[in-house]
Amino acid sequence: MPSNHLDHASDEPLYNIGIVSRMTGIPVATLRVWERRYDFPNSTRTPGGHRLVSEKEVMRLRWVKARVDEGMQTGQAIRALQHMEQEGRLNDLVLVPPPRPVSPTGDTSLAVFGDRLTESLLAHDLETADQLLGEILGLYPLEDLVLDVVTPALNAIGVAWFEQRINIATEHLATNYLRQHLLHWMMTGIQSYPGVRPILLVCAPEEMHEGSLLIAGVLLSRMRWPVAYLGQSVPLNDIAQLARNMNVPAIVFVAMTEPAAAALQKWPEYLPEAQSNNRPVVSFGGRIFNEDPTWRDRIPGVYLGDSLREGIRKLDDILRTNLGPQG
């Protein structure tokens, strides 16, 4: 859970203006006026031109809003905040967290949020889905949102399509909604370790399911590892050429089905140097290795484990051992 002290809050730009508005109760139009008139709050622009605000800025906004609600002028409240910061009185800026959003059953657990997000997407209600993501980000770290809300939602959407409870159009709408957010979070991760080449993330040949690969990319970027995301079904020869050209330290393959795992068996033919000297480190994971554990021994390389949490921890340990970043 985020700290209520400003000096413990993260500087990572994460929230867009719509989410910031819902987290602070300040209308979007008011936020834009404050930005133009007072250059407040501080924000960062993405490569696409969208403004992102950090947890620390959200807390600063809440403090200012509380003063304005008490009758202080906006400019005066902002100057008071800046004066306290200049005097090093950050510990004085203790904020009461916003009320936890309550589900219809009164349960605010991540599992319930996942169910509500799935229901909203399957009902084509993207506005409610946006609101839910904003609520969750105001309460939990992004890692928890991705692992305990988005991952179950992606699985539930896939099951609903497999059981023919939704059509392909609905499945695509819901899946691509989550995919776009995952790509955004992955590309706006924490500043990477200096001098470290990107980790190559790619689906095995014939593999079209990229949800777990996207989630891995978000988690790695949150751990400061730079990533280069290739996505669905890429030929092994092309992967090998790109890996050499980019001098990547590691490749992460995802295979969810048996045909994809069978195709992945051939990777040493295209990257013999990786098999002989472990550079780059070739790792793999995916549903097929849980459903049929015999596949784990058929694929050369490092099996990342039975879950995304386990796999990311294992890969982080391997990278730290091989590359030795500090911090």
Planar angle of CA 28, 32, 38, nearest 5 degrees: 135
Which domains occur in the chain, in start order? 6-92 (1.10.1660.10), 110-187 (1.10.1240.10), 199-323 (3.40.50.280)
138-142, 216-220, 261-265, 304-308: which has the minimum mean pLDDT? Answer: 138-142
What pLDDT is attached to residue 107?
47
pLDDT tens digit sequence for 172-214: 999 999 999 999 888 876 666 778 889 999 999 989 989 999 9
- Pairing mode, strands 51-54 and 44-45: antiparallel
Backbone angles phi, psi at 284, to 5 degrees: -155, 160
Backbone angles phi, psi at 201, to 5 degrees: -110, 125
Average pLDDT, the chain: 84
pLDDT tens digit sequence for 19-78: 788 778 888 888 988 998 999 998 887 766 678 888 888 888 988 988 887 778 898 889
State the average pLDDT over residues 112-119. 91
What pLDDT is attached to residue 254?
94
Coil vs helix vs strand at 224: coil
Q: How confident is the model at residue 283 (pLDDT cuts 50, 70, 90)?
A: very high
Describe the crossing of helices 211-222 and 151-162 by its angle, rounded to 10 degrees.
180
What's the CA dihedral at 135, 136, 141, 147 to 10 degrees?
-160
Q: Which residues pair with 285 in a beta bridge?
A: 254
Q: Please, is 291 exposed, middle or buried when counting C-beta atoms within 10 Å of its C-beta (0-12, 13-18, 19+)?
A: exposed
231: left (phi over 0), alpha (psi -120 to 50) or beta: left
Handedness of CA 14, 16, 21, 22 (dihedral sign): negative
What pLDDT is attached to residue 326?
41
Cα separation, 213 vs 229, in Å, equals: 9
What pLDDT is attached to residue 3?
45
Token look-up 């904020």 returns 95
Name the more confident of 120 and 136. Answer: 120
pLDDT at 242 over 90: yes
71-82 burial, b if ≥16 CB within 10 A, otherwise e?
eeebeebbeebe
Q: Where are the alpha helices (DSSP H) in the chain?
A: 17-24, 28-38, 55-69, 74-86, 110-122, 126-137, 142-145, 151-162, 168-187, 211-222, 236-246, 258-264, 267-270, 272-277, 287-291, 308-323
pLDDT at 4 over 60: no
